[in-house]
Amino acid sequence: MPLVSSKPVLEEALRRHFAVGAFNANNMEQVQAIVEVAQEERAPVILQVSQGAIRYAGMEFAAGLVKIAASLVSVPVVLHLDHGTDFEQNVLCLRAGFTSLMYDGSKRPFEENVATTRRVADIAHIVGIPVEAELGQVLRVTDKVTQDDVIAAMTDPDQAEEFVRRTTCDSLAVACGSVHAMTAREATLDIDRLKAIRARVSIPLVLHGSSGVKHESILEAIENGIAKVNVATALNQALIAGIRRAVAELPDETDPRKIIGVGRDEVKEAVREKIRLFGSAGTIDSTGGFTSPKKQFRSADLGEIE
């Protein structure tokens, strides 16, 4: 299928209380693993590319790989910019054919975050592309980050209401206890805060830093408005673990496919676990539309972009 916009996909997920997996990819094997499992599990999927991934692969490869992967399957695939930290990056991705953007102004003062998010939303909406924004800050693991820091950076529910109204963003990344790049599932989310945000904000909410969150906490979050769950570290761990195992088992192997291919298989199983956890497995029928007893959601309704 051609790439689709994240907007109808996330809105459907929100209505039906499941979440769409938003998986980060840096290379061909990761892109293939994610999209192949989405197809096998009949799940919509968001393939997201960070600024670091764009620097690593180059814009043409980063966008091109996802477009090719999407064209080979019959489930909705979104190409999303993850943590675009400036206006220019968002414009470049819009031009490159991304079907979903993120402006991350979470490190900026509130008024500057509002103004730039609005600017990105204004231009993206002209061509029908939705924009995710972040309020509060999902921190990144370092030796210095304490639990008090995590709590202090959480999203303020009242501010969230004002932020969404003034920016017209289409989805909102909220800070409620997760931390980017954790390598073990130890974090518990502040579900009461999420409920308070949800009571004031009706657009789909986004969970960042999910690799370090306990599965039961993720499920509660999905019940309370999280419609997009970002996963990066868990997939990177799977890739490296597979590669390490292959190198250990085949120390004299010179064919990289025999080594990296094992990593790709590990990524597939990690993606499958998440897609099933998020409840998105089996939500897409053979035509590429949502299965639903109440409302059939055909591919024509999915806002196909190209």
Measure the CA–CA gap between 120 and 115, rounded to whole angstroms: 9
Which option in ligand G3H, Zn ion, none does residue 232 bind, with CB closer than 5 to 8 A by kind?
Answer: ligand G3H
DSSP 230-242: EE-HHHHHHHHHH
In angstroms, what is the minimal distance from the CB of 290 to ligand G3H?
25
| Closer residue to ligand G3H in complex, CB, 111/186 | 186
Is residue 159 within 8 Å of 175, Cβ to Cβ?
no
- CA angle (181 as vertex; 180, 187 as ends), nearest 5: 65
**What is the contact mask toward ligand G3H in residues 247 to 276, using x (rule: CB under 6 A)?**
------------------------------
In angstroms, what is the minimal distance from the CB of 145 to ligand G3H?
13
Positions 159 through 188 that interact with ligand G3H (CB under 6 A): 180-182
| CA 172 remoteness from chain centre | 12
Respond yes or no: is residue 252 known to be catalytic.
Answer: no
Assess 5 for contact with ligand G3H (CB under 6 A).
no
In angstroms, what is the minimal distance from the CB of 35 to ligand G3H?
18
DSSP 108-139: S-HHHHHHHHHHHHHHHHHTT--EEEEES---
Q: Which of 230, 280, 283, 299 binds ligand G3H (CB under 6 A)?
A: 230
In angstroms, what is the minimal distance from the CB of 283 to ligand G3H?
22
Q: b/e map of 47-58 (b: 16 or more CB within 10 Å)?
A: bbbbbebbeebe
Q: Which of 51, 113, 117, 233 binds ligand G3H (CB under 6 A)?
A: 233
**Residues in Cβ contact with 177 at an 8 Å cutoff, skipping those fewer than 6 apart:** 150, 154, 187, 188, 189, 190, 193, 213, 217
Sheet harboring 205-207: ordered strands across? 77-82, 45-50, 20-24, 226-231, 205-207, 171-174, 131-135, 101-103
| Closer residue to Zn ion in complex, CB, 42/208 | 208
Positions 73 through 102 that interact with ligand G3H (CB under 6 A): 82-83
Site residues (vs Zn ion, CB under 5 A): 208
3-class secondary-structure state, position 203 = coil
Positions 197 through 216 that interact with ligand G3H (CB under 6 A): 208-212
Q: Exposure of 294 by Cβ count < 10 A (0-12 exposed, 13-18 middle, 19+ buried)?
A: exposed
Cα dihedral sign for 206, 210, 213, 216? Answer: positive
Binding window for ligand G3H (CB under 6 A); candidates: 4-12, 190-198, 224-232, 271-279: 224-232
In angstroms, what is the minimal distance from the CB of 214 to ligand G3H?
13
Positions 14 through 43 that interact with ligand G3H (CB under 6 A): 24
Which option in ligand G3H, Zn ion, none does residue 210 bind, with CB closer than 5 to 8 A by kind?
Answer: ligand G3H
Question: Which residues does the annotation mark as catalytic?
Answer: 82
The residue ranges that bind ligand G3H (CB under 6 A) are 24, 82-83, 180-182, 208-212, 230-234
